[in-house]
Amino acid sequence: MSLLAAASRCPVRAYLMHSSGWEEPMEYTICKQISYHLGGPLCFDTIWDEITSISPAIGGHNASFLELCIKQCVEKEWRTASDHDVRVESEKYGIYGVIDRVFEEPPYFSIVRPVTPPVAGIYLQDRIKVSAYALCLSEMSGKEIRGGTVEYIPGGESRFCGIQPGDMRKLYSGLRAARNIEAGTIPKKPVHAPCTSCSYYSRCDPGPRRLSERLPDR
């Protein structure tokens, strides 16, 4: 889903992500483990012990981030999930992913984000992810699912994200771009690419060319 969401915003960024591989960021590991305790006690020692067991590379200097997140979340009301890390897929669209938290009552799912929320609304890539997960869950469950929640753990906020027509258009555009990337096509940079906030900016190649065109002749 991360590739799909990135492709919806900037296919070049998605291509660079795809070619570089993905490692779970420390912030995500911490926020993810906090999410397992939402709706119940948020005990620093318990959660930190779980985090360091899951990812021994996380050092003591990262404990302050956990403290910050717990401080933001501890006084808020959170729903208790009925399940975690649920794999969903859509045969129709050929997409799959893992939903962070699932609930028995609507909104039926949430995604966990290791960033503070925007001033208002939901980030575009998060809206795309919610739309994609809703497609998958609707197909698997037979229910009409028109949204989910986004849990911005460092900000201590859970925001409902309803699916809008514009989000679906972006989703379908991202699907086409992601399939082209997986087929080896180097995409063209869009007109309004988010270059100033992109960690791949220094490696950006506007293309477009086939991957085979970049390989040396044998």
**Per-residue pLDDT at 175:** 83
**Is residue 110 very low, low, confident or very high in pLDDT (cuts 50, 70, 90)?**
very high
Q: How far apart are CA 193 and CA 85, in angstroms?
A: 31
pLDDT over 70, % of the chain: 72
The more confident residue out of 59 and 12 is 59
In the chain the beta strands, taken as DSSP E runs, fall at 83-90, 95-102, 109-113, 147-152, 157-162, 185-186, 209-210
pLDDT of 212 strictly over 60: no
Q: How far apart are CA 3 and CA 167, in angstroms?
A: 16
Q: How far apart are CA 212 and CA 197, in angstroms?
A: 29
**Residue 177 near residue 8 (C-beta atoms within 8 A):** yes
Q: Please, which residues have CB within 8 angstroms of residue 103's CB and are 6 or more apart in sequence? A: 79, 81, 82, 109, 110
Taking only Cα atoms into account, the Rg of the chain, rounded to an integer number of angstroms, comes to 19
**Per-residue pLDDT at 213:** 44
Q: Average pLDDT, stretch 151-167?
A: 96
CATH architecture of 2-198: Alpha-Beta Complex (3.90)
**Per-residue pLDDT at 60:** 80
Report the first-to-last Cα separation within the chain, whole angstroms.
35
**Per-residue pLDDT at 217:** 46
Q: What is the pTM of this model?
A: 0.78
Q: Average pLDDT, stretch 82-103?
A: 93
Most confident range, picked from 138-142, 208-212, 213-217: 138-142
* Residue 189 half-sphere exposure toward CB, CA atoms < 13 A: 14
